[in-house]
Chains A and B, each alone.
Chain A
Amino acid sequence: MAKHKAERPEKTAENATSVWNGMRVAITGGTSGLGKELALALQNSGAKVAFVARDRARVEELLRKTPALHGVVGDVSSKDDIYPIAIQFLGALGGVDVLINNASALGPVPLVPLADTNCEDLELALQTNVLGPFRLTKALLGSLAASAREGRHTAVLNISSDAAINPYPNWGAYGASKAALHQLSQIWDQELALQGIRVLSLDPGDMDTPLHALAVPDADRSTLKSPESAAREVLATLQSLLLETKGEPHPNTQAALQ
């Protein structure tokens, strides 16, 4: 039995390159697009990474290529999958410091005006883009708060879109769901400040991903950002947020670090 193990690295080391080292990161939608690039970049930077995706074959394929990742098969839009996903994340990583809610559903494909949008398509967008991240964050909140109390960098990153802000015709289901996620993130960020958990909503920009191809099949792909460079930008922003002292939990949950 492991007795009195060395405590995990605390955030006293403010070396920017080491912020990911040993960090336990969980990512939804990890087998394609931005999610996959985030998983690979974080793993390369020394983080322990677990991801979830719906398609078993694709999960297994990514694990064959990058065995250091931890893969979970599940659907964040399904209420009954949330706790099994959370338990497998926690089982694989021993705790979660950073949760990245990246998995997204577009709504109707091809995109159509709201008047032609089936209720079921709107429901699926809300389930995947709002309720899924909400439920998974709630299920992992105890672990995230424990991590913050122990002085580790702790955050929830919700992948948003400029469609959350701008009313693009035909993007109604997606835009409304991302707007909800964006507002949820901002409120949660304030409410969890005492616990030392930051919640951030980020727009990675228009990327050359399977989701974008579904939305805009005839897009000029040369004008789109590669998911790799979007992942680099997202991680740079997240890193600056984590290094801000604002993420410290209230001192009543964590005695002053010596």
Chain B
Amino acid sequence: MIAATIPAQRPPDARLLAIDAAGQITQVSRSNFPDLLRAGDVVIANDAATLPASLSGIHSRTGATIEVRLAGRWSLEPEAVKDFSAIVFGEGTYQTPTEHRPSPPELRGGDDLRLGSLHATVACLLDHPRLALLRFEGSFEEIWRGLVRQGRPIQYAHVPVPLAIWDTWTPIAGLPAAFEPPSASFILNWSILDLMIRRGVYFGTVTHAAGISSTGDPELDARLPFDEPYRIPESTARLVREARERDGRVIAIGTTVVRALEHAAETNGVLRAGEDLATQRIGRETRLRIVDAIVSGTHEPGTSHYELLRAFVTNEGLEHMNAELEEHGYRTHEFGDSIFVERMNVTAASVSPRNQNGEPLAGAFSPHREPLI
């Protein structure tokens, strides 16, 4: 697919390809996204704002120039900014494709990193020479101040112009918690939200610390997504419960919303409000308990975002969709076009539903629905 290279969140010519539960494909102008919704549906988006998570600085022991990309955190609490996992590159900028970036100098526990006014120590490596656990010095307010001074949005070579923070904040962005934009929400704006609400569609949010999408290293990429903290407000949990009761669809804007909602319902299919850490991977084997449809960007096969779609559609459906995206020149990456994928209603099960122990599930959830997948 063609990379979207201009940081415009809602380009007027943005398109959306929709595939419904029966596998039917429709293509619409993306601004007509609300036409795909029905009264009674509930739309859930990730309202995490994007941190300026790329920090350039010096590895003190060697004097080498490095770029640190914050990649993970264990809680959304604003005070919890002392410890981050981070990908570390050697010298260079985002203009060099990530896979060609040089490695950092050898990182050892106790190494000191100077990142502008921020000061961090390598606590340990996380089973990879580029992935480290960092501990920042100072009070949490000093760390926030250092982040806004020294940090720049993480970006990749396909967008040549430097991104400003506002390029990376979705219109609904609230708590700064994401390491890269939860870009599926670029589809939204306040006029669309108003229109949805007036049409009887419900809207809620989760806050999910969306992690980085690419590390430049196949071994590390295979570990994505890393663990991500999220918070589901009680008001959102209530909207989802009520959608179930009236048979409305739960539509997730973005893969992070799917991950948060499905993680919070993992135990017994009931969505729990509150903060937790999403650790699971979603793919072909996943039985979706909450989400009926996803709005996402277009993604290259093999990425974790793409693999997540297999929980919604069969391999054949996905191949069909991909062929259409290719044929019609859809643009990919965070500023690209979008897809709307409804969970497929397939009777010929390619995977039978199973619980966490791998035992077959029978009628364990959603009694009002046909068995899916």
Q: Which residues of A contact B (CB under 8 A)?
A: 1-5, 7, 70, 72, 83-84, 87-88, 90-95, 139, 141-143, 145-146, 149-151, 191, 194-195, 250, 252-255
Contacts and interface: CB of A to CB of B under 8 A. Distances in A.
Contact of B174 (A3, A92, A95): A95
Contacts, number: 127
B352 interface: no
Contact of B144 (A1, A3, A91, A139): A91
A79 to B, nearest CB: 9
Contacts of A253: 197, 202-204, 235
Contact of A142 (B144, B149, B164, B172): B172
Interface of B: 47, 49, 51-52, 74-75, 77-78, 81, 140-141, 144-145, 147-149, 164-166, 169-176, 190, 193-194, 196-198, 200-205, 207, 229, 233-236, 238-239, 241-242, 272-277
A66 to B, nearest CB: 14
A146 B203 contact: no
Given A4-B274, A88-B145, A146-B233, 15 more contacts: A1-B277, A7-B233, A83-B169, A87-B51, A91-B81, A91-B144, A94-B78, A142-B172, A143-B174, A143-B175, A145-B174, A146-B175, A150-B234, A195-B190, A252-B203
B204 A92 contact: no
Contacts of B145: 72, 88
Nearest to B240: A255
Binding site secondary structure of chain B:
mixed
A70 B78 CA distance: 13
A2 B193 CA distance: 31
Contacts of A94: 77-78, 175
B205 A146 contact: yes
Nearest to B73: A1
Given A2-B75, A4-B272, A91-B144, A142 B171 contact: yes
Contacts of B141: 70, 88, 91-92
17 contacts: A4-B274, A4-B275, A4-B276, A7-B274, A83-B148, A83-B169, A84-B149, A87-B147, A88-B141, A90-B176, A93-B78, A142-B47, A143-B49, A149-B235, A151-B235, A252-B196, A253-B202
Contacts of B198: 194
B273 A7 contact: yes
Contacts of A195: 190, 193
B274 A5 contact: yes
A26 B51 CA distance: 19
A257 to B, nearest CB: 9
A145 B194 CA distance: 12
B176 A150 contact: no
Interface SS, A side: helix
A149 B203 CA distance: 9
Nearest to B196: A252
Nearest to B165: A83
A2 B77 contact: yes
A85 B197 CA distance: 31
B144 A88 contact: yes
Contact of B235 (A83, A87, A90, A254): A254
Contacts of B274: 3-5, 7
Contacts of A91: 78, 81, 140-141, 144, 147, 176
A141 B171 CA distance: 8
A90 B272 contact: no
A138 B193 CA distance: 15
A172 B345 CA distance: 66
Given A1-B229, A252-B197, A255-B238, A84 B148 contact: yes
A80 to B, nearest CB: 9
A84 B170 CA distance: 16
A84 B147 CA distance: 9
B165 A255 contact: no
Contacts of B190: 141, 191, 195
B77 A250 contact: no
Nearest to A146: B174
Contacts of A70: 141
A142 B176 contact: no
Contacts of A142: 47, 49, 169-174
Contacts of B238: 255
